[in-house]
């Protein structure tokens, strides 16, 4: 699903963000990416969804060399990848519903389909009742759940998260992590960047460790306190209950 072959990324000024990194992530895996601040985690994630390109090496996502994808085809790649950022990146003047339906809207989905998709995605993260709220009316944990719903609304094959619990307290962090683990149970490949080693040890799973741009460890951990999980319902226009759609609010 995701293959890195001797990937190197340098930035202007000579800084090496990634140095000959190689690994493979199979379809359906849940993988943690860890390392100190500045180790190269964000740079690696940006390469996967073609926000950036490597200076050396090759990256394959679903069998396609992402560096050789023409600009006009990059949106098609990104439709298969959901991305969750530490700072949420919600549009403040748009409602939760409008933030979550951003991708279906630009893809041309009709209003009815957008409502059903939004309800299903928000229900998965426990916020179906907050569709008309604005981001600043939500707690940090709720904003992050909205960001996750937005990333999941198009049923991506791959879900990437860059320090999604970095700004949250321990209880909220655990709640958000459970969402990612449950998404993975449905078959979505998940790559989650974090510096929280305690969380990783509790949960277990495969861990890729970066140090100064180099992949220094690739190890499977059993987990000291893995959570019990339930497979969440699918997100899609046919999964939302016909009588429980969110009300779309109009904003200028």
| Token output for 119 | 């309800």
- Which of 94, 197, 184, 178 lies closest to 143 in space, CA to CA? 94
- Convert the pLDDT of each residue in 150-205 to its tens digit: 998 888 999 999 988 877 778 888 888 888 998 898 899 999 999 888 889 888 89
CA 224 to each of CA 193, 195, 201, 202: distance values in angstroms, whole numbers, following the listed order: 20, 18, 6, 5
- pLDDT band at residue 140 using 50, 70 and 90 as cut-offs: confident
- Convert the pLDDT of each residue in 65-122 to its tens digit: 999 999 899 988 988 999 998 788 899 999 999 999 887 777 777 788 888 888 888 9
pLDDT of residue 20: 97
- pLDDT band at residue 247 using 50, 70 and 90 as cut-offs: very low
CATH architecture of 28-51+79-221: 3-Layer(aba) Sandwich (3.40)
pLDDT of residue 237: 47
Residue 191 has a CB neighbour count (10 Å cut-off) of 25
- Convert the pLDDT of each residue in 190-231 to its tens digit: 999 998 888 898 888 999 999 999 999 999 988 877 776 665
pLDDT of residue 225: 74
Instruction: Give the CA angle between residues 231, 154, 7 to the nearest 5°.
Output: 95
What mean pLDDT comes out for the span 36-59? 94
pLDDT at 25 over 70: yes
């Amino acid at each position: 699903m995701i293959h890195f072959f001797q990937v190197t990324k340098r930035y202007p000024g000579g800084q090496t963000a990634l140095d000959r990194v190689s690994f493979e992530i199979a379809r359906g895996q849940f993988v943690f990416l860890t390392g100190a601040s500045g180790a190269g985690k964000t740079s690696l994630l940006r390469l996967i969804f073609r926000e950036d390109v490597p200076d050396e090496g090759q990256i394959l996502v679903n069998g396609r060399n992402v560096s050789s994808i023409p600009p006009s085809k990059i949106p098609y790649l990104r439709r298969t990848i959901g991305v969750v950022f530490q700072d949420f990146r919600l549009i403040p003047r748009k409602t939760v519903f409008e933030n979550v339906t951003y991708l279906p809207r630009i893809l041309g989905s009709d209003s009815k389909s957008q409502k059903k998709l939004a309800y299903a995605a928000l229900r998965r993260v426990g916020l179906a009742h907050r569709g008309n709220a604005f981001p600043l009316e939500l707690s940090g944990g709720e904003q992050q759940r909205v960001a996750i719903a937005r990333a999941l609304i198009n049923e991506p094959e791959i879900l990437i998260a860059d320090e999604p619990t970095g700004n949250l307290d321990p209880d909220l962090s655990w709640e958000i992590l459970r969402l990612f683990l449950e998404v993975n149970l449905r078959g979505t490949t998940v790559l989650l960047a974090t510096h929280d080693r305690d969380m990783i040890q509790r949960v277990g799973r495969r861990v890729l460790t970066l140090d100064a741009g180099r992949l220094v460890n690739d190890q499977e951990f059993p987990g000291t306190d893995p959570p019990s999980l339930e497979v969440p319902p699918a997100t899609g226009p046919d999964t939302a209950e016909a009588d429980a759609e969110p009300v779309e609010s109009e904003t200028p």
